[in-house]
Amino acid sequence: MSVVAYFSMDLALESDIPTYSGGLGVLAGDALRSAADLGLPLVGVSLLYRKGYFHQHLDAAGNQTETDDGWQPAGRLTELPARVTVHIEGREVCLRAWRYCIRGVRGHEIPVFLLDSDLQDNEPTDQGLTDHLYGGDHRYRLAQEVVLGIGGVRLLRALGYVDTTTFHMNEGHSALLALALLQERLGGRPTAHADAADLEAVRQQCVFTTHTPVSAGHDKFPWDLVHHVLGEEHASFLQHTGSPGDRLNMTHLALRCSRYVNAVAMRHAEVSREMFPGQTIHAITNGVHAATWVAPSFQRLYDHHLPDWRLDSSNFRHAVGIPLHEIDLAHVEAKRRLLHEVANRTDQMLTPGTFTIGFARRAAAYKRADLVFTDLERLRRITDHVGPVQFIYSGKAHPQDVGGKDVIRRVFEAHRALRDEIPIVYLEDYDMELGGLVCAGVDLWLNTPEQPLEASGTSGMKAALNGVPSLSVLDGWWIEGHIEGVTGWSIGHSPWEGRSDPAAEADSLYTKLESSIVPAFYGARERYNEVMRSAIAINGSFFNTERMVRQYASSAYALR
């Protein structure tokens, strides 16, 4: 049977298997989980990361430090006997793989292969190549991309996946797989001999999803490094044909080598078309895997009212018929669970009756976790005159992201300034487990990215599936999911009305809290619960990976 091979450098299989860093990996895991539910013929390929992403530690001032997140693959995955090799800096590097199995609701299994270079035969430096996710320097990253792209294709062949119809590059990190496919096609002839028909044959096998307009998300490698790591022959082929320009740009390579390209939301497709003129870029809006992200109390509610929701996410449409007080009760339970966990982890006791705002995601500067603290006086006024508010934060900054680390410190500064008036907790070491707890347990999901940098965002979708409405800048998925006062609330102007204006956005944020949201929570709870229910019915029924994967299957993979 022909299969679709899904390649992703970042992949969230389980909360405590540290092969993911954030949204990209969670999306990849959710996509594979839904593909398993749907019984689609996919296989996943990623790296093992023996030392994980990292554990986050925050001191009293919010300074982040990191330690390795080591784990034991042997207890969780099956080691496979197959061995393949790749060439890195002229050395032969031997690779093995570990298999993880994703089982869908109807029992269909999707294997995921994690490549591992920690073998005795390899030089010590090569043994560590699959240790760290997003760690190391340019050389380390490029070597990892050789392992993922080229090693991944060779591994699949060694495992007997010979008639793979589609290679899906989930972000440009895996674009070197095109080089491996070209080599197969050339059957030993040098890559310099590749002609247009050879390139077209590769293109017909590949699909590419671009995930961010942020420049740091697009790997670019200097040519001398590419020559050094990949060797003369491949480097000059890439330089002349794959990605002409001053550096090897993995996004350009992926675009050039793919028959189908998509962005992850409608607006993101527009922005990507501006970034890559002349390129056909479709939009397949992201989603989340419902059964993974729905809290236990809502699982029970849905099992009762929407019995087929695990098999067919369009059932969430019928949430309009769930009595409001039952939604309220399920939410109270999800909130209780979260506040219990907060108390366990931080010794801070939050008040269950207080309006609770959540913000948890990667700490990157453009996401502006601190926008809501622009005017502390205004926040105090809301608390004093409309009703009390408290905040729950979580999120890791990439170890080299100075701006992201600053944002965490600024949230801690707000915490110190507001100490006795507005409680703010910051939960260390954000992972899928915390993501599930926080998205489901707060009363409002806050999202304040700088337009147009949030390609999609998925945490607000997890919140919606748990009846938690968003207050969000109109960017990414929210442009599609927002109906004012029905599924949540917007901040600022639409993305077509000019540049992001932080002062105006902060003002809009406070105005919505002050005049619509907090008054409804304390004074018109039925109204608030109606918004919660519409978030489930309108957004839960669409922003899920079941719908998303069906779109990939019909448009990108051309599966039936």
CA angle 272, 274, 277 (to 5 degrees): 100
Q: Are 466 and 295 in contact (CB under 8 A)?
A: yes
In whole angstroms, the minimum distance from the beta carbon of 272 to ligand PLP comes to 17
Q: Which is nearer to ligand PLP, 435 or 540 (CB)?
A: 435
Query: Regarding beta strands 109-116 and 91-103, do their DSSP bridges make them parallel or antiparallel, or are they unpaired?
Result: antiparallel
Site track 308-347 with ligand PLP (rule: CB under 6 A), x = hit: ----------------------------------------
In whole angstroms, the minimum distance from the beta carbon of 459 to ligand PLP comes to 3
Closest CA to 338 of 289, 387, 393, 375: 393
Q: Which residue in 212, 374, 458, 545 binds ligand PLP (CB under 6 A)?
A: 458
Instruction: Compute the half-sphere exposure of residue 363: CA atoms within 13 Å on the CB side of its CA.
Output: 32
Q: How many CB atoms lie within 10 A of CB 304?
A: 10
Q: Which is nearer to ligand PLP, 116 or 171 (CB)?
A: 171
Cβ-based neighbours of 304, under 8 Å, separated by 6 or more: none
Q: Which long-range contacts (CB under 8 A, 24 or more apart) does 227-236 make?
A: 228/89, 228/139, 229/88, 229/89, 229/139, 229/142, 229/143, 229/146, 230/87, 230/88, 230/142, 230/146, 231/87, 231/90, 233/190, 233/191, 233/192, 234/179, 234/191, 236/192
Q: How many CB atoms lie within 10 A of CB 78?
A: 12
540 counts as binding ligand PLP under rule CB under 6 A: no
Q: Which of residues 245-284 bind ligand PLP (CB under 6 A)?
A: none
Q: Which residue in 459, 487, 541, 545 binds ligand PLP (CB under 6 A)?
A: 459
Q: Which is nearer to ligand PLP, 267 or 361 (CB)?
A: 361
In whole angstroms, the minimum distance from the beta carbon of 431 to ligand PLP comes to 5
Q: Of the ranges 38-46, 384-392, 453-461, 519-527, which one interacts with ligand PLP (CB under 6 A)?
A: 453-461
457 counts as binding ligand PLP under rule CB under 6 A: yes
Lookup: tokens for 38 = 């749907």
Q: Which of residues 462-491 bind ligand PLP (CB under 6 A)?
A: 462
Q: Which is nearer to ligand PLP, 205 or 458 (CB)?
A: 458
For residue 99, give the 3-state DSSP assignment: strand
Q: Which is nearer to ligand PLP, 130 or 447 (CB)?
A: 447
Q: Which of residues 182-221 bind ligand PLP (CB under 6 A)?
A: none
Q: Which is nearer to ligand PLP, 29 or 242 (CB)?
A: 29
Lookup: tokens for 27 = 């999306």
Q: Of the ranges 18-26, 38-46, 81-89, 179-187, which one interacts with ligand PLP (CB under 6 A)?
A: 18-26
Query: Regarding beta strands 4-7 and 166-170, do their DSSP bridges make them parallel or antiparallel, or are they unpaired?
Result: parallel
Q: Of the ranges 102-110, 208-216, 452-460, 479-487, which one interacts with ligand PLP (CB under 6 A)?
A: 452-460
Closest CA to 363 of 412, 408, 429: 408
Dist CA 91 CA 461 (whole Å): 45
Q: Which of residues 425-444 bind ligand PLP (CB under 6 A)?
A: 430-432, 435
In whole angstroms, the minimum distance from the beta carbon of 451 to ligand PLP comes to 15
26 counts as binding ligand PLP under rule CB under 6 A: yes
Q: Which is nearer to ligand PLP, 361 or 512 (CB)?
A: 361
In whole angstroms, the minimum distance from the beta carbon of 56 to ligand PLP comes to 11
In whole angstroms, the minimum distance from the beta carbon of 455 to ligand PLP comes to 9
Closest CA to 560 of 39, 207, 209, 103: 39
Q: Of the ranges 19-27, 77-85, 481-489, 542-550, which one interacts with ligand PLP (CB under 6 A)?
A: 19-27
Q: Is it true that the peptide bond before 452 is cis, omega within 30 degrees of 0? A: yes
Closest CA to 387 of 528, 185, 214: 528
In whole angstroms, the minimum distance from the beta carbon of 262 to ligand PLP comes to 17
Q: Which is nearer to ligand PLP, 218 or 361 (CB)?
A: 361
Q: Which is nearer to ligand PLP, 135 or 152 (CB)?
A: 135
Q: Which residue in 141, 168, 289, 361 binds ligand PLP (CB under 6 A)?
A: 361
DSSP 212-254: -SSGGGS-EEEHHHHHHHH-HHHHHHIIIII--SSEEEHHHHH
Q: Which is nearer to ligand PLP, 26 or 531 (CB)?
A: 26
Q: Which is nearer to ligand PLP, 92 or 433 (CB)?
A: 433
In whole angstroms, the minimum distance from the beta carbon of 458 to ligand PLP comes to 4
Q: What is the CA 542 to chain-centroid distance, rounded?
A: 17
Computed on alpha carbons and rounded to an integer, the radius of gyration of the chain in Å comes to 24
Give the H or E element holding residue 326: helix 324-346
Q: Which is nearer to ligand PLP, 12 or 382 (CB)?
A: 12
In whole angstroms, the minimum distance from the beta carbon of 203 to ligand PLP comes to 30
Closest CA to 257 of 196, 213, 212: 196
Residue with the closest Cβ to ligand PLP? 435
Q: Which is nearer to ligand PLP, 214 or 311 (CB)?
A: 214
Q: In the 3-class helix/strand/coil scheme, how is 285-325 assigned residue by residue? A: CCCECHHHHCCHHHHHHHHHHCCCCCCCHHHHHHHHHCCHH
Site track 382-421 with ligand PLP (rule: CB under 6 A), x = hit: ----------------------------------------
Contacts with ligand PLP by CB under 6 A: the residue count is 13
In whole angstroms, the minimum distance from the beta carbon of 140 to ligand PLP comes to 23
Lookup: tokens for 185 = 């096609």
Closest CA to 104 of 461, 464, 546: 546
Dist CA 523 CA 350 (whole Å): 21
Dist CA 193 CA 414 (whole Å): 61
Q: Which is nearer to ligand PLP, 129 or 439 (CB)?
A: 439
In whole angstroms, the minimum distance from the beta carbon of 488 to ligand PLP comes to 14
Output the furthest CA–CA distance in the chain (Å, rounded).
Answer: 76
Q: Which residues bind ligand PLP (CB under 6 A)?
A: 22-23, 26, 361-362, 430-432, 435, 457-459, 462
